[in-house]
Amino acid sequence: MSNAGMNTEVFEQFLIQLERFVRDRLIPVERKIIETDLIPENVLEAMRDMGLFGLTIPEEHGGADMNISQYIRTMHTLSYAMPAFRSIISINVGMFASAFKNGGTEAQKAAWLPRIAAGEIAAFGLTEPGSGSDAAGLQTTAVPTADGWLLNGTKRYITNSPFAKVGLIMARTATENLPKNAHISAFIVPLDIPGVTICKSDRKMGQSGSHIADIVLEDVHVGSEALLGGELGKGFALAMMSLDNGRMSVGAAATAYARRALDSAIRYATERKAFGEPIANFQLIQQMLAQSEIEIYAAECMMDDVTRRADAGENILRKAAAFKVFATEMCGRVVDACVQIHGGAGYLAEYDAERFFRDARIYRIYEGTTQILQLQIAKHMLREFAAAN
């Protein structure tokens, strides 16, 4: 179903404001975030004031009601700054809000979407120690009680869980595996209730200021109203419906971060001198700059195309996967070229090139690894061929 989104003129003015915010407020605090591993609270408040936590949430629930193109362009603009800023809002406006819009009851939407739009942080609990892309291996259970459900299990690599007020937790509601993963349901779980333990934040290769941690559920009791949509067996389907948006968001983030790295490389190449002249004059440096520009442009075109198709109501599963794969792999090549152009300086933490390199590595892994998405793309291609022949 298509969504007209925000008024076009209002949205374009918002993007101009956001670009200024990224330049004037976010990039200047990046070094502090690297030192403290936290986004300053005053910056988070400024992000809340701009409405960044409710971009896709309907206006009646306090959001901006952006369509997919507007949302992804916003993520692209925001992601020129370090990844922590997109990470802190992406679960709210991507996975959590999408699942509620696609499958929540009216009472659930009214209870939670205004809080999320106002800036309460949400988490999305699908991945476990023994299952990620393999939903059939999911072990967290939800057992019915007289007045609700009892949840037990562990969720792993859960973004924002140390800061989150609520989690959307996928749990097994049937012991056997059912077709289309109907053995998995989704539950709304406040993360401050008895039995919920948020473990210590994991130490990571990069992405300072963005936190992931395990969520352990031990005899966690929730009421019957916690079952998303009020129906069993819809949890995994709702999670998958939101993954297209998540993959486009990661693709947009990788595309923007590649642009940031290329801008850094150009600046360094024009300032750094060797053999009496700027290294930007050397043709092999120019080749790396040009190739990076070519690949970023290709990713930008894919982003524009897939989001336009999504807003038109097309099934974009394959194209969203293709964009995510290309953009994230491209970003890996560009940040590597950025280090190479910096030479020895690119290996030093004093320069941005080395953290661009570390930050970008995860883009090829989360929201579906490159390899899982390649398999998914091929599966759909073969299925279409078989249906046509």
Active site residues: 367
Which residues pair with residue 141 across a beta bridge? 152, 172
Which residues pair with residue 167 across a beta bridge? 123, 189
**How, if at all, do strands 184-190 and 166-172 pair?**
antiparallel
Virtual CA dihedral for 219, 221, 227, 228, nearest 10 degrees? -90
- Rounded to whole angstroms, the Cα distance separating 338 from 356 reads 9
Going by C-alpha positions, the residue among 137, 148, 171, 162 that lies closest to residue 215 is 162
**Token representation of residue 94:** 């991507």
Kindly list the distances between the CA atom of residue 178 and the CA atoms of 60, 140, 146, 153, 373, in Å, as whole numbers in the listed order: 36, 15, 25, 20, 23
